[in-house]
């Protein structure tokens, strides 16, 4: 019975056990893996062959081929040039000022007709020029709009400031004129409208057998006078009123002072404008 058991069990010292073991030595791969690597290598080589080279690379390669073919010593053209004193690397011509390299080789890769590439390049340059021109016009327009806006805002600010100074000057002028006994301003805009005197006219109306004199306020002349002065800006009105206050009353609205005489005014007052007092 023991003999039968020995026959059934494998001999661990025989080659039968080794054939069942997998190859695990470093640096060696199985046949399947080696076949996969071989297929991948072929695919990579095929991909490299099928890669489309850039146009610049193709031109460079063709140019190098042309140059090598042109300067071979066994070339008849080179032999003729050599007899006339030509040496590789020098320019052609009597003084050697001509072309040093052969005419460039143009490699046409597209399917367009002759001149299509040049026309496409021309249209692209034209579009670039038009785009640059539009950009310059847009920048110029934006600059003009910005300048106009700044001028409008500056004019609005100046006009508002002049209007405030005008109101202040009108009140002061009316007060000083009243102290001098003046009842009518030299110009209608020298006083506030609420302080202007209202003219009256007499109209006779028949009441029975007698006539009654009725006084009515006369605003037509005043309206006409205001319409005549409406073309003046607030700044122009302020300048006229300022000159009147400084000449007649020796008063400066920005100093807020009535000076003793003209010399005192010229000495102690910075000027006849608001900007002169801001400095």
**Mean pLDDT for the chain overall:** 76
Lowest-confidence pick of 122-126, 193-197, 207-211, 261-265: 207-211
**pLDDT per residue as tens digits for the range 260-269:** 888 888 888 8
Q: How far apart are CA 141 and CA 144, in angstroms?
A: 5
The tokens of 219 are what? 């605003």
Of the pLDDT bands very low, low, confident and very high (cuts 50, 70, 90), residue 138 is: very high
**pLDDT per residue as tens digits for the range 6-62:** 445 556 666 666 666 665 555 566 778 888 888 888 888 887 777 777 777 877 777
- Model pTM score: 0.41
pLDDT beyond 70 at 256: yes
Predicted pLDDT of residue 184: 87
CA 223, chain centre distance (Å): 51
pLDDT beyond 80 at 75: no
pLDDT beyond 70 at 100: yes
Of the pLDDT bands very low, low, confident and very high (cuts 50, 70, 90), residue 200 is: low
Predicted pLDDT of residue 186: 85
Predicted pLDDT of residue 215: 46
Predicted pLDDT of residue 5: 45
Q: How far apart are CA 272 and CA 265, in angstroms?
A: 10
For tokens 């080179």, the residue is: 78
| Cα atoms in the 13 Å half-sphere on the side-chain side of 68 | 6
Predicted pLDDT of residue 182: 85
Of the pLDDT bands very low, low, confident and very high (cuts 50, 70, 90), residue 141 is: very high
pLDDT beyond 50 at 209: no
CB of 64 within 8 A of CB of 57?
A: no
């Amino acid at each position: 019975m023991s003999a039968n058991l020995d026959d059934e069990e494998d001999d661990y010292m025989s080659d039968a056990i080794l054939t069942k073991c997998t190859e695990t030595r470093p640096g060696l791969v199985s046949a399947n893996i080696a076949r996969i690597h071989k297929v991948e290598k072929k695919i990579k080589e095929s991909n490299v062959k099928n890669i489309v080279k850039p146009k610049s690379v193709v031109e460079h390669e063709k140019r190098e081929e042309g140059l090598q073919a042109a300067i071979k010593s066994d070339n008849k053209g080179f032999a003729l040039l050599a007899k006339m004193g030509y040496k590789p690397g020098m320019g052609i011509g009597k003084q050697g000022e001509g072309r040093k390299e052969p005419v460039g080789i143009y490699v046409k890769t597209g399917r367009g007709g002759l001149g299509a590439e040049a026309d496409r390049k021309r249209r692209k340059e034209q579009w670039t020029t038009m785009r640059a021109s539009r950009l310059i016009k847009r920048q110029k327009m934006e600059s003009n709009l910005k300048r106009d806006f700044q001028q409008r805002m500056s004019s609005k600010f100046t006009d508002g400031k002049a209007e405030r100074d005008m109101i202040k000057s009108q009140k002061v002028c009316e007060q000083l004129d009243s102290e001098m006994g003046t009842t009518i301003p030299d110009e209608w805009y020298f006083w506030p409208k609420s302080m202007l005197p209202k003219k009256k006219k007499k109209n006779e109306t028949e009441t029975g057998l007698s006539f009654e004199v009725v006084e009515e306020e006369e605003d037509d002349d005043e309206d006409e006078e205001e319409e005549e002065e409406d073309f003046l800006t607030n700044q122009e009105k302020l300048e006229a009123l300022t000159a009147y206050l400084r000449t007649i009353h020796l008063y400066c609205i920005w100093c807020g002072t009535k000076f003793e005489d003209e010399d005192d005014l010229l000495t102690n007052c910075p000027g006849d404008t608001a900007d002169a007092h801001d400095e």
